[in-house]
Structure 1
Amino acid sequence: MHESHIRHARPADADALGELDRETWSPVHAVLPRPVPPYAPFFDANHRPEDFLVAEEVGSRAVLGYIRLVPPTPLASNQHVRQIQGLAVADRARGHGIGRSLLRAACGEARRQGAVRITLRVLSHNTPARALYEAEGFTVEGVLPGEFRIEGRYVDDVIMGRALGA
């Protein structure tokens, strides 16, 4: 079993996070094509280290997963909301509660930032992710039917959210 702790990402995590992103790419959750070299930098002006929480293996300090948490828009009128825009767990670490730990840490971080709601989008055919989100109190708040065409199939984009209690 992988014992981990959650921390904020650091610029030095870029290579490990990029490698994790490529390792975990799947049409079950990705709306972009499989990444090919030369790889884009993991961090950029819209994907800053401070937007990510990282699950790090205790002892080895290996990156086991990440979650990205950002305001959904730059508008002042919805700064009370945070949105999860990316969650990945290394294949070798799946089934050990790391995704759940990252999700709970993101909810805690969103509350710390003053948010009262948290939302996310998930592809309808991503059954494991949807089950995790539902188990953590997220409910379906909307569905965009056939929003994406992935590997020749139309896939719904499911919008989920939940209130952040104290």
Structure 2
Amino acid sequence: MPDPHIRPARHIDEAALAELDRDVWSPVHSVQPRPEPPFAPFFDPANPPAYYLVAELDGRVAGYLRLVRATRLDCNNHVRQIQGLAVADHARGRGVARALLRAAMDESRRQGARRLTLRVLGHNTPARGLYESEGFAVEGILPGEFLLGGEYVDDVLMGRSLTE
């Protein structure tokens, strides 16, 4: 079984990434409402292709990761943040999320970052386990931060050093 190929996103990926995003939407990992027509563009001025890494398997888009500066502050320029990770159903169990995380770490280092952070919903146990296995640690919890499906869900802040 071939490993996922990770590359920067391109404008021509927009339709495939938008479809993937709609297909994998779940309240387990999203605080946004289920996407409904008319659909907003996947890329826009605040979310250009340069912020995304794309995973391909067998020549098909299999996942993406959004990697951005944590804030616009110069004093925080050494931190990158993952603000979205999605894997297509057909690619689950094939190492796509792990490959995207590792590529994000490499790209963050290339950009001069020393830390990588993310936020994950407390009830998303599989994602939390993956992040922990890649060196992320819980750095904070915002208890009951979101009301999803009638239940209060924690927002878990995780991070890791990129210099170790």
Q: If the TM-score is normalised by the length of the shorter chain, which range does it land in?
A: over 0.9
Partner of 1:144: 142
Distance 2:18 2:42 in 1: 5
Cα deviation for residue 165 of structure 1 reads: 2.3
Residues 103-143 of structure 1 show CA distances to partners (whole Å, capped at 9, x for unaligned) of: 00000000000000000000000000000000000000000
Runs of 5+ consecutive residues of structure 1 not aligned to the other structure: none
Tell me the equivalent position of 1:31.
31
> Residue in 1 aligned with 2:107?
109
How much has 1:35 moved relative to structure 2? 0.2
Please name the residue that 1:55 is paired with.
55
> Structure 2 regions of 5+ residues with no counterpart?
none
1:75 Cα deviation from its structure 2 partner: 0.5
Q: SS of the residue aligned with 2:50?
A: helix
How large is the Cα RMSD of the aligned pairs? 1.0
For residues 43-63 of structure 1, what are the alpha-carbon distances to aligned partners after superposition, in whole Å with 9 as ceiling and x for unaligned? 0111110000000124xx210
Which segments of structure 1 move beyond 6 Å, counting only runs of 4 or more?
Answer: none
How big is each residue's C-alpha offset from its partner over 1:42-87, in whole Å with a ceiling of 9 and x where there is no partner? 00111110000000124xx210000000001111010000000000
Residue of structure 2 equivalent to 1:46? 46
**SS of residue in 1 equivalent to 2:128:** helix
Matched, 1:76 2:74: yes
Q: Given that residues 2 and 93 in structure 1 are in contact (C-alpha distance below 8 angstroms), is that contact kept between their aligned partners in structure 2?
A: no
In 1: Cα distance, 2:92 partner to 2:49 partner: 23
SS at match of 2:139: strand
Task: Determine the structure 1 residue equivalent to 2:95.
Answer: 97
Q: Could you tell me which residue of structure 1 aligns to residue 62 of structure 2?
A: 64
d(CA) in 1 for partners of 2:75, 2:96: 33
Query: Please, what TM-score do these two structures have when normalized by structure 2?
Result: 0.97
Judge conservation of contact 1:80–1:117 (CA < 8 Å) in 2: yes
- The 1:92/1:2 distance shift into structure 2, 3 A limit, reads farther
Percent of counterpart pairs with the same letter? 65
